[in-house]
Structure 1
């Protein structure tokens, strides 16, 4: 799977899973509240039934002729008796606060019920009862919902992954075709490019009087540009297969060599080059990687700098920086400029590979890439040797 496909799939999975789980969470909260109230209502009904038993017990005491009466205790609940003026008479507990306008209410972990007596027995007009909330069914509900949510999460993740791959299948096929096309094109370009470059050198040696010919110079510059495009495509295709030969290289000398290579292009566009290079800076790198890093940075600077502009190259023991007075870019473009095949200005040539290759090289060697740019002012790219 290509990197762009992975990013698209990751975004889809995050959006789909988060939105679906959010809907499930809202539904779960509604269901939990409904189920919780059903459990409480059931316990309130049980409390009401048990409280009603006291009527018959009070009736028996009211008609009893015994001199000593025992307070009626009902298993599982506590009761308190009040007269018609809401004065406490007797009970096996005394509520701290009574909601006289409600038949049922809840305080803390207890349920309360107010029961009106008709007729009054032993002066009792109201019975207030209380019972602790049975937490067992509530805990069982919470456990079931937690398990259901975990299973739903796994199910949603599997469905999301399946849907993501299903939707990306046409894109994946197109990317494979594009990748195959690039590989075939790269292979077919090798021979004609090599032939053109070889014959240019041969023509220059056979006809030295034409070396300064403008027409030949144009052919040489165009061929060099075509060669760099081929090299970029070949580098991308073989990047993970080729063997890197990492060794000490004179980065300063290599940079001067590449600047000399780009000099005709800069001269043709009327660009002013300023360079400040430290001598004999040695870096542990593969020479091809180092050349690719320099070439792509210089190529971008030349490409996006208007005729008559300037390019400033600085190399010291801390970093390599290349600054141009080109078209620059805004923050939106800058955030994507290292993506493969992305081009900030489609009016310019190329495949949008330069900074993507630079980013791969920088990441491979543990370097740091910083891009400063302002639209209409220019761009400065810095490669620091240490992060």
Structure 2
């Protein structure tokens, strides 16, 4: 525990201890002096407790609120400034790649380009969460097939030879685009991670549902029951922390996407997302 956290903890404990003692003494005093209508002393006692509690908690948490405001401003300012060096890196990288002929140096530049893309992805991730916190509605219009194509192209980098087939209609959605991309990306990533024998996986649309189907290791009924628990992993030898499906569930609950999972051990898993609520019906 940091020294600042320790001081904050001690201050909070002392403050609440004083508040409890004061309220207790106040209650005892009222109980002694009120003979007939002792029940009514509860009302002023509660009001006094609330006022004292509010004042004390406001005082003890003021430093925490101040620190949070500072960190919030620092994060937003840093994120804004981060976009500038990223643009400079990409612009100069393109010029170096255009002029370079040496194969080894080009490979090094490609690694730098991949690292730059990863950094930009992290930038977009933080930017998304900040916008979601500031704005009450982060929904926008976009096309489902374009989103799925983008997700699949990115996941192909980690597919290790597994084919990803997709057939999605050019339908317009009105939704949290970044959030839905994370949902599909997590589901595809899981299908790739638990794949067996390099069997292909499919993403397709049936009316108002989007389906991600694989021929992986599958899940038993007991595993299905635990699948959305945060940090749960069916196979702890695989990479990751068991967070992906809990994020998928949280997004689907927030944006009213009904989700069903059909799975059978050693046969495969089928995730069905009802996207009817997201369709931009004019």
Deviation at 1:291, TM superposition (A): 1.6
> Hey, what's the Cα distance between the residues in 1 that align with 2:113 and 2:238?
19
User: 1:241-277: CA deviations, max 9, x gaps?
Assistant: 34232232212211112212222222xx110122121
Question: Can you give the 5+ residue segments of structure 2 that lack an aligned partner in the other structure?
Answer: 1-70, 278-282
- String of CA shifts for 1:74-126, please: whole Å, max 9, x gaps: xxxxxxxxxxxxxxxxxxxxxxxxxxxxxxxxxxxxxxxxxxxxxxxxxxxxx
Report the structure, 1 or 2, having the larger helix content: 2
Measured in 2, the distance between the counterparts of 1:213 and 1:365 equals 43
Corresponding residue of 1:141: none
- Distance in 1 (CA, whole Å) between partners of 2:204 and 2:138 is 26
Q: Which has the higher contact order (CA 8 A, sep 6+)?
A: 2
TM-score for the superposition, normalised by structure 1: 0.41
Task: Name the residue aligned to 2:182.
Answer: 292
Choose the corresponding residue for 2:167, options 249, 271, 276. Answer: 276
Equivalent position of 1:248 in the other structure: 141
Residues 178-237 of structure 1 deviation map (CA, whole Å, 9 limit, x = unaligned): xxxxx9xxx8xx89x99899868865662366598599569949x859957x94xx5997
Equivalent in the alignment of 2:35: none
Aligned to 1:385: 275
**Who is 1:344 aligned against?**
234
* 8 Å Cα contact 1:330-1:375 kept in structure 2: yes
Instruction: Give the structure 2 partner of residue 259 of structure 1.
Output: 152
Alignment of 1:204-215 (within 5 A): 206-207=96-97, 213=107
- Cα deviations by residue, 1:336-382 (Å, 9 ceiling, x for unpaired): 11112222221121222211111111111111111111222221111
The alpha-carbon deviation at position 299 of structure 1 amounts to 1.6
- Higher gyration radius (CA): 1
How many residues matched? 196
Contact 2:97 2:106 in 1 (8 A): no
Contact 2:213 2:271 in 1 (8 A): yes
Change (3 A) 1:225 1:272: farther
Which blocks of at least 5 consecutive residues in structure 1 are unaligned? Answer: 1-182
The CA distance in 2 between the partners of 1:235 and 1:328, in whole Å, is 35
Partners of 1:328 and 1:196 in 2: CA distance: 41
Are positions 1:310 and 2:200 aligned together?
yes
Q: Cα distance 1:314–1:339, how it changes in 2: closer, same or farther (>3 A)? A: same
User: Given the two structures, how large is their TM-score scaled by the length of structure 2?
Assistant: 0.55
